Amino acid sequence: MVSFSLALSLILCLIGIDTTSCCIFRCTAEGPWYDFSAYTECKPDPEPPLYNGGILQSENGEIPMAYDTTETGAHRPAFVLGNLTETTRYSFSCWVQIQGTDSALIRAVLATDDSKFRCVGTTTAQNGCWSFLKGGFILDASSKTSVLFLQNTTNEVDGIEILVASASLQPFSVEQWEMHQQDNIRTKRKRMVVIHVSDTQGNRVIGASVSVQQLAKDFPFGSAIASTIVGNLPYQAWFLERFNAAVFENELKWYTTEPQPGKLNYTLADEMLEFIRANKVVARGHNIFWENPSVTPSWVRNLTGDDLRSAAKSRIQSLMSRYKGEFVHWDVNNEMLHFDFYEQRLGPNASLEFFGTAQQADPLATMFMNEFNVLETCDDVNSTVDSYISRLRELKEAGAVLQGIGLEGHFFTKPNLPLMRAVLDKLATLDLPIWLTEVDINHIFDHQTQAIYLEEVLREGFSYPFVNGIMLWTALHPYGCYEMCLTDEDFHNLPSGDVVDRLLQEWETKETAGVTDDHGLYTFSGFLGEYKVSVSYANKSTETTFSLGRGDETKHLNVQL
Ligand SMILES: *[C@@H]1O[C@H](CO)[C@@H](O)[C@H](O)[C@H]1NC(C)=O
Ligand SMILES: *[C@@H]1O[C@H](CO)[C@@H](O)[C@H](O)[C@H]1NC(C)=O
Ligand SMILES: *[C@@H]1O[C@H](CO)[C@@H](O)[C@H](O)[C@H]1NC(C)=O
Ligand SMILES: *[C@@H]1O[C@H](CO)[C@@H](O)[C@H](O)[C@H]1NC(C)=O
Ligand SMILES: *[C@@H]1O[C@H](CO)[C@@H](O)[C@H](O)[C@H]1NC(C)=O
Ligand SMILES: *[C@@H]1O[C@H](CO)[C@@H](O)[C@H](O)[C@H]1NC(C)=O
Ligand SMILES: *[C@@H]1O[C@H](CO)[C@@H](O)[C@H](O)[C@H]1NC(C)=O
């Protein structure tokens, strides 16, 4: 009986009579689809649990909860989990409310039977309403008995009570996870195209030869470059064969362009920009200010009050008037979740003012925040996804217009893909452009491991529908690279370079050719970008170009012979 109903579902699904049958079939055969839902408002009531609670749901449909009572008598909600496996991607979510204080950063932590503790997700919880926590984990080894609990980030539970509702833990196999990625790529990075071939009288042309070639890719995928690329033809050729986007590693930073007060020197940036312009590469502007005092020019560190304010204003005016319109983005105030050089000296609104001045100076550039340890981990209390969201909201409320979300992506642990996706889910609710801006894998890992982790991060980033571009942080110097190189100094690939080359190939449309069918149609599926189409029939031929931009519908193109 079971196999009969499954077969029936499959047929109904395939012939399109009942699409809910597809879910029955898909759900039994492949498990549930990833749920991209996320919430960033504190709500009077929690939403229902994702996946009906997933494996937290018991047979009677309830979500069990254990309470661990601490010495101080406070409750720490915890879930005891049996038999977690290392091949599984676990997606966790719940709603959190606290009592005993107005607001606190709450962290979900997993303790496994190898005595490791790992952060699963965080939320800024409040008193009197429910906040959504979304994250997840991947294990290094299976764990027979594990405990997933919620804690105040300071670890000293002095009277805060944490309430949890609508918790859910959903496992996905590696295959399921990849299938969801492929599905997003198919629907968001590619599009179906139908080419209609007719003659000037409007007759269909059957059997016309059509060939399609992708000329350029829409998705900006690039790398940091350094001034080492200037005049270095092998480096230039290597770069241009691969990438359509760039960012200058250090050459626009204040310490480079104005090493001494008033001694402006844009030589390196100008030379690099010539290379960019000559080759139709898109460039991000990085950065106007950097809140880390140790990378602020030493003469600026000596300034206070009006002197600093006026130096900062001159910096924006000088940089932006020189390069107005040349850079698609500006990182206005790098790493402002971790450092606060300008706020300390100019008051809490310093960054708001910088964003405003920069936007006025270059109104068509998107003004970015750029931050580490938002995507990479949830262990860093300074850069939680919720703290990033609240800073972005502050900027918007203060009148910021074109805003962007920069996620550096300097990974120093095995990538936690479910956490990465959950963080993106929350950020995506803001409806702002999201870029991975500085992706690399720490050099504590050997080349092979760097390559494996890099592939995981790039696949997750590229397949995430609201990621608009990816930059690697792999500028090449005679001494090597910041954390990770793609090649040796002679441009022979390291394993991570092989990964990048393989993915670049996978994410472009191969040249295709064929003949029009009985309706005069030629159909293909292509990655978004620029295309050239050549059509010929008998003694006639024509050539045309078109753009395949984002869209939910099939693209139709008419070609007349
Ligand atoms: C874990 O697996 C063992 C062995 O397969 C089984 O005996 C045990 O019941 C499982 N525990 C849970 C909580 O599922
Ligand atoms: C919990 O976190 C809050 C805010 O981060 C902190 O002020 C407090 O000391 C911590 N301990 C508790 C539970 O109050
Ligand atoms: C400007 O920078 C370039 C490149 O670093 C350097 O060669 C040149 O001497 C600098 N110019 C001045 C006036 O300092
Ligand atoms: C900064 O100030 C200190 C102390 O006033 C002085 O010794 C130093 O030369 C100054 N540095 C710069 C770069 O102006
Ligand atoms: C986090 O911020 C606090 C206060 O701004 C600072 O003392 C601490 O060093 C920061 N931690 C990191 C990891 O940047
Ligand atoms: C900062 O800006 C906000 C909103 O624009 C304003 O209400 C507030 O007074 C400003 N604070 C300071 C210290 O200037
Ligand atoms: C193309 O072929 C058609 C008939 O098949 C003929 O009438 C026409 O003159 C040819 N045109 C050229 C430019 O050779």
pLDDT in tens, 396-406: 998 888 899 99
Between 13 and 512, the more confident residue is 512
HSE toward the beta carbon, residue 263, CA cutoff 13 A: 8
Sequence-distant (≥ 6) Cβ neighbours of residue 490 within 8 angstroms: none
Which band of pLDDT confidence, cut at 50, 70 and 90, is reported for residue 6?
A: very low
Evaluate if residue 199 carries a pLDDT over 70. Answer: yes
Nearest-CA residue for ligand 6 atom 14 is 349
CA angle 86, 105, 435 (to 5 degrees): 65
Q: What is the pLDDT of residue 541?
A: 97
Whether residue 60 is predicted with pLDDT greater than 80 in this model: the reply is no
Measured from the Cα of 83, ligand 1's closest atom is 1
Query: What ligand is nearest to the CA atom of residue 250?
Result: 3
Residues 6+ apart with CB under 8 A from 229: 235, 236, 239, 272, 275, 476
Give the pLDDT confidence score for residue 290 in this predicted structure. 97
Quick one: pLDDT at residue 158? 62
Q: Is the CB of 396 under 6 A from ligand 5?
A: no
Q: Which residue in the list 251, 258, 408, 438 is annotated as catalytic?
A: 438
State how far the alpha carbon of 226 is from the alpha carbons of 289, 379, 404, in Å.
19, 31, 24
State mean pLDDT over 512-523.
Answer: 97
Select the more confidently predicted residue: 31 or 227. 227
Hey, what CATH topology would domain 220-506 get? TIM Barrel (3.20.20)
Q: Retrieve residue 202's tokens.
A: 């409007």
Instruction: Give the model's pLDDT for residue 2.
Output: 35
Does residue 382 have its Cβ closer than 6 Å to ligand 5? yes
The Cα 107–Cα 149 span in angstroms is 8
Range in 74-88, 291-305, 417-431 with the lowest mean pLDDT: 74-88
Query: Does residue 59 surpass a pLDDT of 70?
Result: no
The CATH code of the domain at 4-179 is 2.60.120
- Judge residue 548's burial from the number of C-beta atoms within 10 Å of its C-beta, 0-12 exposed, 13-18 middle, 19 or more buried: buried
Pocket flag, ligand 3, residue 265 (CB < 6 Å): yes
Is the minimum distance from the CB of 267 to ligand 3 under 6 angstroms?
Answer: yes
Is 260's C-beta closer than 6 angstroms to any atom of ligand 4? Answer: no
**What is the mean predicted confidence (pLDDT) over 138-145?**
95
- Whole-number Å distance, alpha carbon 344 to ligand 4 midpoint, is 19
Ligand nearest to the CA of 258: 3
Give the contacts of 278 (CB within 8 A, at least 6 positions apart). Answer: none
- The pLDDT-based confidence of 441 (bands split at 50, 70, 90) is very high
Query: What is the pLDDT, as a whole number, of residue 113?
Result: 92
List the domain boundaries for the chain: 4-179, 199-213+509-560, 220-506
Nearest atom in ligand 2 to the alpha carbon of residue 103 is 4
Q: Quote the CA–CA distance of 372 and 387 in Å, as a whole number.
A: 13
From the candidates 291, 335, 460, 483, which is the catalytic residue? 335
Q: Which residue has the tokens 């179906």?
A: 192
Q: Is the CB of 347 under 6 A from ligand 6?
A: yes
- Per the annotation, the verdict on 438 as an active-site residue is yes
For residue 273, pLDDT over 60 is answered with yes
Q: Could you give the CA distance from residue 486 to residue 517 in angstroms, rounded to a whole number? A: 44
Q: Are 342 and 350 in contact (CB under 8 A)?
A: yes
Does 199-213+509-560 match 220-506 in CATH topology? no
Percent of the chain predicted with pLDDT > 70: 91
Which one, of 144, 89, 142, lies nearest residue 120 by Cα? Answer: 89
Closest CA to 405 of 419, 422, 385: 385
With a Cβ cut-off of 6 Å, ligand 7 is lined by 538-539
Closest CA relative to residue 295, chosen from 345, 334, 348, 247: 334
Position 26 scores a pLDDT of 42
pLDDT value at residue 155: 54
pLDDT at 384 over 60: yes
Q: Which atom of ligand 5 is nearest to the CA of 338?
A: 14
List, chain by chain if needed, residues with CB within 6 Å of any ligand 2 atom.
101, 104-105, 152-154, 156-158, 160
| pLDDT at residue 11 in the model | 44
pLDDT band at 42 (very low <50, low <70, confident <90, very high): very high
CA 349 / ligand 6 centre spacing (Å): 6
| pLDDT, mean of residues 254-282 | 97
47 is catalytic: no
Q: Separation of 269 CA from ligand 3 center, angstroms?
A: 11
Alpha carbon of 173 to ligand 6 centroid (Å): 49
134-138, 154-158, 360-364, 385-389: range with lowest mean pLDDT? 154-158
Ligand 6 pocket test: pick from 340, 342, 346, 349 the residue with the most ligand atoms within 8 Å of its Cβ: 349
Q: Over the Cα atoms of the chain, what is R_g?
A: 26
Assess whether the C-beta atom of 430 lies below 6 angstroms from ligand 3.
Answer: no
Spatial distance between the Cα atoms of 20 and 6, rounded to a whole number of angstroms: 12
* Mean pLDDT, rounded, of the chain: 92
CA 380 / ligand 5 centre spacing (Å): 9
pLDDT above 80: residue 319: yes
The amino acid at residue 538 is: A
CATH topology of domain 199-213+509-560: Immunoglobulin-like (2.60.40)
